[in-house]
Amino acid sequence: MIELPLKSERLRINEIFHSLQGEADAVGFRTVFVRLTGCPLRCQYCDTAYAFHAGDWHDIDSIIDQVRGFDAQHVCVTGGEPLAQPNCLKLLSRLCDEGFAVSLETSGAMDIAAVDSRVTRVVDVKTPGSHEDARNRTENFALLTAHDQVKFVICSREDFDWSKAYLEEHGLPDRCQVLFSPSYTQVSPTSLAEWILGDRLPVRFQLQLHKILWGDVPGK
């Protein structure tokens, strides 16, 4: 008799692929990306709308087997919004147990309190230009440590000024690393770099390496 995996052990997966990490502190490392299906937000610059609905169910053991097959140390669990699926928490812990260096990319609209402390949490702060800034869960900020990062995607000079004030209001540079990234095609990287330099902000400028290398190709 074949035992089927319990539904409580499954997640809906959009794709699992091997690439270079394009963002955050692990940029440039070979990384296995596990992209979960579904997201409650609709940011205007979203480049993974294909993950809103498409995906197949996999049990956690199967996901880990696929990750192992790429022989990479770094694993990034992303979406969509991965924490929209409760079993994401189990997957994160299992990946850590397997010895992987695990990061989580989350929208900042979900509670991160239960995420395994071994996971590097990369938390978006939604700017007004995203059209989803009302979804920022400020309760998460008190949970951040030096192990974590917050990311601002800057869509305009107005977004930059808003983000600068937001940093100070919430004391984010004192909690964790802060990343500022230009919204692809909306703000020139040079402009954002000059704004950061001009205002001497305690943030790390970043570009999306994968888009420089491969453009908007999914699964890269």
182 close to 157: Cβ distance less than 8 angstroms: no
Answer yes or no: is 220 within a domain.
no
Q: How many domains does the chain have?
A: 1
CATH number reported for the structural domain that contains residue 171 in this entry: 3.20.20.70
Q: What is the DSSP letter of 209?
A: H
Q: Would you say 105 and 26 are in contact if contact means Cβ atoms under 8 Å apart?
A: no
CA separation for the pair 152, 133 (Å, rounded): 11
Task: Note down the domain range covering 130.
Answer: 7-214
Decide if 63 is inside a domain.
yes
Within-domain flag for 1: no
Task: Report, in angstroms and rounded to the nearest whole number, the Rg of the chain calculated over CA atoms.
Answer: 17
Residue 213, H or E segment? helix 209-214
Does 92 map to a domain? yes
Token reading at 129: 């230009």
The verdict on residue 190 lying in a domain is yes
- Residue 4: per-residue pLDDT: 43
Dihedral in degrees, nearest 10, Cα atoms 111, 114, 118, 124: 0
Contact 162, 141 (CB under 8 A): no
- pLDDT by residue for the chain (220 residues), tens only, comes to 344 444 568 999 999 999 999 999 999 999 999 999 999 999 999 888 889 999 999 999 999 999 999 999 999 999 999 999 999 999 999 999 999 999 999 999 999 999 999 999 999 999 999 999 999 999 999 999 999 999 999 999 999 999 999 999 999 999 999 999 999 889 999 999 999 999 999 999 999 888 888 877 666 6
Flag whether 62 is in a domain. Answer: yes
| 41, part of any domain | yes
Q: Which two tokens stand for residue 104?
A: 């989580």
60 domain-assigned: yes
Tell which residue, 45, 123, 118, 60, has the closest CA to residue 90. 60
